[in-house]
Amino acid sequence: MVGTETIGIVAVIIMVTSYALEHRHPIFIAIFSGGCALAAFYAVLIHSYPFVVAEGIWSVIALRRWFVARSAA
């Protein structure tokens, strides 16, 4: 079984990597959104509800940015 810490580490790696690559293709914005959602899930697991809200908001913002970037491309 995957440990809670592993989920958090994977979420952060996805977020940092995809954020660094956003300028290459809009798909990285969608991947960033998924990373934020995974970080929010991790926050639920560790009962850090302010972090759930913050990462949830970032996930929605990134998803909206992806829709805009995808339609512009």
pLDDT digits (tens, 9 = 90+) for 10-65: 999 999 999 999 999 999 999 999 999 999 999 999 999 999 999 999 999 999 99
User: In whole angstroms, what is the distance from residue 12 CA to residue 24 CA?
Assistant: 19
- Determine contact, residues 55/37, Cβ cutoff 8 Å: yes
Strands (E), 1-73: none
pLDDT exceeds cutoff 70 at 8: yes
- pTM comes to 0.92
